[in-house]
A and B are shown apart, each in its own frame.
Chain A
Amino acid sequence: GAVVSQHPSRVICKSGTSVKIECRSLDFQATTMFWYRQFPKQSLMLMATSNEGSKATYEQGVEKDKFLINHASLTLSTLTVTSAHPEDSSFYICSASRAVQETQYFGPGTRLLVL
């Protein structure tokens, strides 16, 4: 199998605080991990691509200082939303692949609500 987990599944925070979301590949080594954002009834929007041991590549329009991504090992990537604001409320989903061009397996997602 190819199982990816995310933690937490749901988080509520106050405006101005930071939130960290973890993404783990449980049964395979993920050279590449991706972070997406999804709005209701919309398609997944790629935020950034991270390769183990190197800096993440952010998509145009995504603030790298606001969405900090770390991919410190072959099984773990983290997304930290810094100084969160209500407009950051969304469904964040990670995916992992054995190599950048291979099939992406998705985590269950994290629902973030910023009050």
Chain B
Amino acid sequence: EDQVTQSPEALRLQEGESSSLNCSYTVSGLRGLFWYRQDPGKGPEFLFTLYSAGEEKEKERLKATLTKKESFLHITAPKPEDSATYLCAVQATNSKLTFGKGITLSVRP
């Protein structure tokens, strides 16, 4: 069974304090690993797709990396507007997404 575990469950940072969010996974045949951002009461917003170990992608203050067992979402010098829940999901060969429970990030000004 495909599994995704995200840690920590919640993270509180001071504005400008860089950190990383972890996503560990087990999947039978990884087709892709996805990161989404979800604001309260809204649907997930697509951030990145990673397809193979060693791949990295960046967007503004966010950088996602991938190994064979986990992915990291690095946040550099976060701002209060980066506060949200970050979801990790893996796509197996059956094309279904399996989501983790998410990491709730709070950035204090």
Contacts and interface: CB of A to CB of B under 8 A. Distances in A.
A75 to B, nearest CB: 17
B49 interface: yes
Interface in B39-71: 41-46, 49
Chain A interface size, as a band, is: 20 to 34
A111 B96 contact: no
B34 interface: yes
Contacts of B74: none
A103 B49 contact: yes
A49 B96 contact: yes
Nearest to A9: B41
A2 interface: yes
Interface in A29-49: 34, 41-44, 46, 49
A43 B100 contact: yes
Interface string B6-49: 00000000000000000000000001101010000111111001
Interface string B65-107: 0000000000000000000000101010001110111100000
Contacts of A43: 4, 87, 99-102
A6 B43 contact: yes
A108 interface: yes
A100 interface: yes
A50 to B, nearest CB: 13
B101 A41 contact: yes
B95 A106 contact: no
A104 B42 contact: no
A100 B92 CA distance: 11
B87 A100 contact: no
Contact of B43 (A41, A42, A100, A106): A106
Contacts of B44: 44, 93, 106
Contacts of B41: 91, 109, 111
